[in-house]
Structures are given as C-alpha cells and as structure tokens.
Chain A
Amino acid sequence: EPEVTQTPSHQVTQMGQEVILRCVPISNHLYFYWYRQILGQKVEFLVSFYNNEISEKSEIFDDQFSVERPDGSNFTLKIRSTKLEDSAMYFCAGAVGTASTDTQYFGPGTRLTVL
C-alpha cells in the first residue's frame, strides 16, 4: 500500500536557522497539508495546498513559513528563521480530493527541535 514519507525523522537546529521539512505524498494525491503537534498539545492545521497554490492557512502560518512543491513529487515546508516555539512534530498529509469522504493520509512526522 502506498505511503506518505517524510524526511528527516528528526531535525535539530539552532534558533534563527532555516529548516526545510520534506514530504513525498502518495502519487495520485492532489491536495496537500501540513499540521503540527507541539508536545502535549493538539494536532494543529497549518496550511493546505492545491494546484501549486495555498488554499487555506491558519494564523500560525505566518510569513516565516512557506510551502512549495518544487518538482511534482516532493512537498516542502520551510521555516525561515526558527524560534524555540517552533519545536514540534510536523505532519504532512495528502488527499485525492477535498470532499469530507476523501481521507487525508498522514506521514510519520518530522520531529523538529529548536535549541
């Protein structure tokens, strides 16, 4: 069964550094998402992406964050200047469509630690 993959599994960075989190969605998916989970807190929606554009973003997704799908397979989340509070597990997800019956398939997550 096809899976969503994410790399790296764990990223440690210094505050102020840029990080890029990578995701390879399932090949027939057209809608892509990033969520994050700060330790002990809820899984929070960050952004959705379709047809090379952001469809929706949360208030967390400020101008320090960006997403792109540079080559038609990878889907990346960039944080330009990391802060301590960006430390979290970041999940990528994909779906065939946006109907409520279209399941979002999640990757295993990247744990980001900002020191």
Chain B
Amino acid sequence: GEDVEQSLFLSVREGDSSVINCTYTDSSSTYLYWYKQEPGAGLQLLTYIFSNMDMKQDQRLTVLLNKKDKHLSLRIADTQTGDSAIYFCAETPTGTASKLTFGTGTRLQVTL
C-alpha cells in the first residue's frame, strides 16, 4: 500500500529558511499536498503540486518534487514564529482521488 514518511522534528531560527522533507512510495501518486496544523486547529491546506511538475512557488513557499526519487520538499523562506506548527505531507494516488494518505507530520519549531 501507499506509505508517506517525514522526519518528526525541525528547529530553525526566525528569519532562516526551513526545509521539510517527505518521501512516498506510490509511483502512481498524482497530487501531493502540504497541510499545516496549528495547535487546536484542523488541517489547513497550504499548497499542492501535480506529479508532472518539478517545482511550484507560492509567496514564501516553494515545493520541489523529485519524481524519480519520490521525494517532496517544502521550503519556507524567512520563517516566522507564526510558522510554528506541524506540517503534513499527503498524496492522492491515481484513480482514488478522494482518499488522502498522510505522512507522520513534521513539527516545525521556530526560535528567536
């Protein structure tokens, strides 16, 4: 079955860039997503990328996709304390567009 893996924790200083990594196993993944979860809140969609793209940029967020290595990353430029949250990578395989498969989540801690 599908599997999505992430490192559990990342600590960065305010103003630095953060890079959160994700690997997935399903070669038929069509869309890959990044969700953010703040304490006590639901999962907020940040961005997504099609599997036929290498990169997508959206303001401070840059998503890189290496389809050959099945590796996805989320770069947050100029990280702020408000970016402290858990970031989840998720994927949707071809033909099953409704079900999201999530990674374990990476807790991002931003220090002053």
Residues of A within 8 A of B (CB): 4, 31, 33, 35, 41-45, 48, 55-56, 91, 93, 95, 98-109
Contacts and interface: CB of A to CB of B under 8 A. Distances in A.
Nearest to B43: A106
B53 interface: no
Nearest to A32: B98
Interface of B: 4, 30-31, 35, 40-45, 48, 88, 90, 92, 96-105
Contact of A42 (B48, B98, B103): B103
A113 to B, nearest CB: 16
A47 to B, nearest CB: 10
A102 B99 CA distance: 12
A78 B45 CA distance: 27
B42 A41 contact: no
Given A100-B31, A104-B45, A106-B44, A42 B102 contact: yes
B43 A33 contact: no
B104 A42 contact: yes
Contact of A55 (B42, B45, B98): B98
A96 B85 CA distance: 27
Contact of A56 (B30, B45, B98): B98
Contacts of B30: 100
B42 A48 contact: no
A33 B42 CA distance: 14
Contact of B42 (A4, A31, A45, A98): A4
Contacts of A48: 98-99
